Amino acid sequence: MSTSVFFFGGFKANADNMKVWLDTARAQKSKVDFNAFPYPDAGPKDKDAVAAFKQLKSVADAITKSKADLIYIVGHSSGCAIANAVDDALKDHSKIALVTLDGYVPDEKQRGRKSTQLWSAKCDDKLKALTSISSRVWPEPISRFTNRQTATIKRMNGRFISPSSTSPPVASRSHRLPRDTKNVRRTSVG
């Protein structure tokens, strides 16, 4: 089974950050086709990010033309707004898994797909949503990590992921997690 990942970095993630992310991801899973996109020159608001991301159509076209059996569209923090918009631009979602990492929540239709995954760090018994979502709350169920797991996974805002992680930078449908998973509450949407 071939896999492709399209990762959208969070607010202020630049091209250098994405190169580090790509190098680390490829070192962990050399058979996966990884693609990473820096955050556009915009503020952290979802509409601003989507409007400033000029590659939306070309990325959606590349996903549509991809021969991969499974395609992850992953956003981190404010980059989730872009990931959600790219996903929304697609007509066929049969091989798509939309993954949200501490960011803008996908719309109801996107959340309704069994392949959609929402992930957030748990901090002091509260969800740590790094993006302001003024009128929305995190819908249940979502995957949560304690501070210990997030230290292993690292923040996926384009700076780096941990080379000690045993999984690719996104979770598979089987929810592969770092080695220490005893304090993780895992659930999936659907």
Domain-by-domain residue ranges, the chain?
A: 3-153
The answer to whether 168 and 178 are in contact (CB under 8 A) is: no
The answer to whether 169 and 25 are in contact (CB under 8 A) is: yes
Question: Could you tell me the maximum CA-CA distance found in the chain, to the nearest angstrom?
Answer: 43
What token pair was written down for 65? 């033309």
Answering whether pTM is above 0.75, one says: no
Q: Are strands 3-8 and 96-101 parallel, antiparallel or unpaired?
A: unpaired
Question: What's the rounded Cα separation, in Å, for the pair 48 and 133?
Answer: 14
Q: Which residues contact 127 (CB under 8 A, 6 or more apart)?
A: 120, 121, 138, 142, 144
Tens digit of pLDDT at every position of the chain (190 positions): 899 999 999 999 999 999 999 999 999 999 999 999 999 999 888 899 999 999 999 999 999 999 999 999 999 989 999 999 999 999 999 999 999 988 888 998 998 898 998 887 665 555 444 333 323 444 444 454 444 444 333 333 333 333 333 333 333 333 333 333 333 333 333 3
The answer to whether 143 and 116 are in contact (CB under 8 A) is: no
Q: Which residues contact 124 (CB under 8 A, 6 or more apart)?
A: none
CB-facing half-sphere around the CA of 73: CA atoms within 13 A: 29
The answer to whether 25 and 158 are in contact (CB under 8 A) is: no
Q: Which residues contact 13 (CB under 8 A, 6 or more apart)?
A: 38, 39, 76, 79, 157, 158, 159
The answer to whether 159 and 13 are in contact (CB under 8 A) is: yes
Which amino acid is present at 152? T
CATH number of 3-153: 3.40.50
Considering only CA atoms, give the Rg of the chain.
15
Instruction: Please give the pLDDT value at position 166.
Output: 35
> What angle in degrees, to the nearest 10, is found between the helix axes of 56-65 and 79-89?
60
Closest CA to 49 of 74, 26, 67, 75: 75
